[in-house]
Structure 1
Amino acid sequence: MPRVTGPLEEAWMAAGGDPHCSRLREDLLATALYAENPSITERGGLSPGSGPSTCLYTWTIVDSAATAVALWTNAVFDERSPECNELTRLPGSDLWTITLCLPREWRSSYRLAVWRDAVPPPWRVVKGRHASRRAAIASGGPDPRARLRIAFPSGGSVSLAAGPDAPADRWGVGLSCAEEPSSPAGGRPAGGSEGPPQRPGKPDEDPTRASGGAVRASGGAVRVKCASRVFPGGVCPRERVDPPRGGVDRLSVDGTRAWIYRPPHIRGVPALRDVPRPARPPDDPASSATPLLVLFDGDMWARRLHLGDALDRAIALGLLPPLHVAMLDSLDVETRWRTLGVPGGHVDAVLDGLLPHIRACYPVSAQGAETIVAGQSLGGLSALWTLALGEGTVGHAIAQSPALWRFDVAEPLLAERRWAGADIQAGAYETETLALSTGLVTTLKGAGRRARLAVACGGHDWAWWRIGLLDSLADILHPCGGR
């Protein structure tokens, strides 16, 4: 873990030898609690490897009852030495702090775990591979002193950290904002489980359309509030945008459930439950055909990250053209492992059922070149299988952190000549995934196929997946300068 003695710790210890120690430490405390977590210091030379390409990220909380506080950061958490992930309590105070030296481009989700019992915290005592990491995640929750959060796949939410040179987040997918960053003086209950943040809207409002990052205005529009930290390293559109709202349909085709996002001004169809639907007539006046994006792990995208809201904004701003998005429901962990990442399961469901059905019932393009399939981890591998087995019905794949340890898909991809491109993304901290992704892209490009590798400064993490997906999608749909 790239831990260093941070500027707050240094100043606190230095103040201990000063005649005015008490006043100096009060000033340090006030300054530390004024900044949002993590505070970023442009300072190099504190440790081997630090320099102009790195900076210091400091987390600080106040908790008088805590006996231990741990920071879980995606892919940076040290499982071999769990104590290295714990914040230091500054002498004579209730202030806890930790500083990491990390790249300026770093982006990650994280949680803070506050432990208040006399017995050792669970992340120190559990046994087994990845057990300490899982214990820290389960014991923790979002940082009360950080403003931006996203949903976490296993429940609740996580906070977000991004360096000063992290790629711009133009999309704001799934972002929710804490009311005001505050010091967790009360802390979280030890071992507690934080629930999903409350979102605006009525309790029975359609969860696919509620947005924690927007305020609903009259007339069904979504009024977007822009925050500077939403677009680190980029230009934030300061004007308020009231985009027309698209719609979301729920349907089931041959037992496969999905959400279908419709762009604004495209009429919908009734929710379907394995009921045959007449083909859309060729002269359907609803609209011209749009591109289609098919997403695995659609429950995360539709229900927890509220992708539809982000698409409404992106289409209104001209960052994306109008498009339809099919988001497949993974149901549960067991079903996900059985149906994703294999040359069957949801791949067959897309190619044999969902794709023909959507093309018959919605104004989407029938061209493979305008059909994109995407996924993350096991879903990323499924995206590549869909490309390989699609016989030209799918032209592009966006595979984020694909689980290539499960299958080598190079030969099937090379055997199918009709796909147009494969965008593969991996985190710099995903050692095995990055190596396998690099090898696959090298093989495909060596055979003359269009394949691109993008390396994110992060781990196996929705923090950057939610940005990288739409960045790649914009590149595919706006190849001449959409970005």
Structure 2
Amino acid sequence: MTVTAGVLAADAAPRRLAGAMPRVERVAARAADATEAERAVILEEFWADVTRRGTPLVEALDGDPEHCAVTFLWRGHRATRQVLLLAEGLADPADLAASRLSPLPGTDIWHLTYRLRADHRGSYRMAADISPGEPPASPERLQRRLLSLSAHAAPDPLNHRRTPGRWPDRDTSVFELPQAPARAWTERRSGAARGRVERHRLPAGVLGAERDVWAYLPPGGRDGELPVLVLNDGDMWFGRLAFQDALDALVADGAVPPLAVLAPDSVDRATRSRELGAPDSHVPFLADELLPWAAGRWPLTTDPARTLVAGQGLGGLTSLYAGFLRPERFGNVLAQSVPLSAASPSPPSRIGDGASRPVTVRLDVGLREDAILGHHRDLYETLRSRGCPVTLNEYNGGHDWACWRASLAEGLVGLLGH
């Protein structure tokens, strides 16, 4: 069965809208006939209202209830030459000029509006260019200038909703449209019993180096062996995203049974790129070193039906390999935004007709992940044709921690819930 996160059937492709939306147009109209002193008051009132409401501005579109007009704003000054929006799933890295905001003549308002389906969720950063002189006229030189500018992108100062970033260690701003799937378990729950998070140093012989592992143990006493989630990128999930808050809420609601989580650290970008997605080393590390090490310390199940391996990007690729190469250890796989391509065979293709025992798979991918969306659909059909219990969850967003954070908890409920 295919599970689609979005509740709407309308076109999900983002579209940049020309001109300004009504709230910005009203300011422009008032400012056009005002004196300089009056204009200053009008703009101060506008920015005070925007600061109170937060950005981006979300407005209804006449005759189109399934989409919203979403306006990103920046308050410029005399030195501002251009403003760049880096929105995951919206910006085209090969054409950054298309993601620049437009100045509203006679004001300090810079604006950019997209028509987005009402279930969109995403993260973004912004950067203002205050270099001397006008931006280059040449498209090639302009692209180089904007690439340099993107290195200085930061969260939107008018949006107080943020999520931690990674490599570089900078926050990103988050926006969610009214019909985005609920994030029922992603925040710390007041009154929920707290599990504990420990950080251990594990000898990882197959990787040729020691490895830090984050371990989550649920609150309360132990009643039998605990189900296990092996979660890649522990440094992000526990070091930055405080995923223990979601786990505490899930357990408190009875959405999943009390479970243990083992989350290896990815160290750095180069180590992650080298190790994750390499089945000959990382899968044996998870199956033959991490799980036995943890079982010697805590009462963990050895039942593959109660063991889940999960990851995002290359971590999702590792998770697929783990499930299909070692089904006696991992009976459930949650793979989010896997970097599949026609040039690199998918895990089922590599290992023939799949595992010797059933492995339940959930695939998550964003509708804004154009390079891999079709490959996820192909993989879903391949697995289903081979009798694998598989679901495909397509959310309206990009290759984005803000999206993965929301759907990971939902995936745990589907795979390990009562």
The alignment's TM-score, normalised by the length of structure 2, stands at 0.85
- The one of the two structures with greater contact order (alpha-carbon pairs below 8 A, sep at least 6) is 2
Counterpart for residue 352 of structure 1? 288
The residue type paired with residue 230 of structure 2 is V
Gaps of 5+ in 1: 46-50, 174-213, 215-223, 225-239, 267-285
Say if 2:189 is the partner of 1:250: no
Deviations 1:205-258 (A, max 9, x none): xxxxxxxxx6xxxxxxxxx4xxxxxxxxxxxxxxx4243342323131323331
Counterpart for residue 262 of structure 2? 326
Question: How many Å separate the matches in 2 of 1:436 and 1:132?
Answer: 33
SS in 1 for 2:278: coil
SS in 1 for 2:320: helix
Offset at 1:415?
2.7
Question: How many Å separate the matches in 2 of 1:241 and 1:125?
Answer: 55
Say if 2:331 is the partner of 1:367: no
Are residues 147 and 28 of structure 1, via their aligned partners in 2, closer, same or farther at CA, if it must alter by over 3 Å?
Answer: closer
Counterpart for residue 160 of structure 2? 147
Offset at 1:131?
6.9
The residue type paired with residue 160 of structure 2 is R
Are residues 126 and 34 of structure 1, via their aligned partners in 2, closer, same or farther at CA, if it must alter by over 3 Å?
Answer: farther
Contact 1:351 1:390 in 2 (8 A): yes
Deviates more, 1:340-349 or 1:323-332: 340-349
Counterpart for residue 91 of structure 2? 77
Deviations 1:82-116 (A, max 9, x none): 23212222222222222111111111010111222
Offset at 1:337?
1.4
Question: How many Å separate the matches in 1 of 2:274 and 2:90?
Answer: 29
Contact 1:338 1:345 in 2 (8 A): no
Are residues 126 and 35 of structure 1, via their aligned partners in 2, closer, same or farther at CA, if it must alter by over 3 Å?
Answer: farther
Offset at 1:59?
2.0
The residue type paired with residue 98 of structure 1 is L
Gaps of 5+ in 2: 1-13, 205-209
SS in 1 for 2:193: coil
SS in 2 for 1:139: coil
Contact 2:70 2:114 in 1 (8 A): yes
Offset at 1:393?
1.3
Counterpart for residue 259 of structure 1? 214
Contact 2:366 2:396 in 1 (8 A): yes
Counterpart for residue 273 of structure 1? none
Counterpart for residue 291 of structure 1? 227
Question: How many Å separate the matches in 2 of 1:115 and 1:127?
Answer: 14
Counterpart for residue 23 of structure 2? 8
The alignment's TM-score, normalised by the length of structure 1, stands at 0.74
Offset at 1:80?
4.2
CA RMSD of aligned residues (A): 2.7
Say if 2:48 is the partner of 1:93: no
Identity %: 31
Contact 1:246 1:265 in 2 (8 A): no
Question: How many Å separate the matches in 1 of 2:124 and 2:270?
Answer: 25
Question: How many Å separate the matches in 2 of 1:429 and 1:96?
Answer: 25
Are residues 27 and 127 of structure 1, via their aligned partners in 2, closer, same or farther at CA, if it must alter by over 3 Å?
Answer: closer
Offset at 1:298?
1.4
| Aligned length, in residue pairs | 389
Contact 1:171 1:314 in 2 (8 A): yes
Question: How many Å separate the matches in 2 of 1:375 and 1:121?
Answer: 41
Are residues 132 and 150 of structure 1, via their aligned partners in 2, closer, same or farther at CA, if it must alter by over 3 Å?
Answer: farther
Question: How many Å separate the matches in 2 of 1:110 and 1:120?
Answer: 25
Contact 2:304 2:327 in 1 (8 A): no
Question: How many Å separate the matches in 2 of 1:247 and 1:25?
Answer: 48
Offset at 1:132?
7.5
Offset at 1:376?
0.5
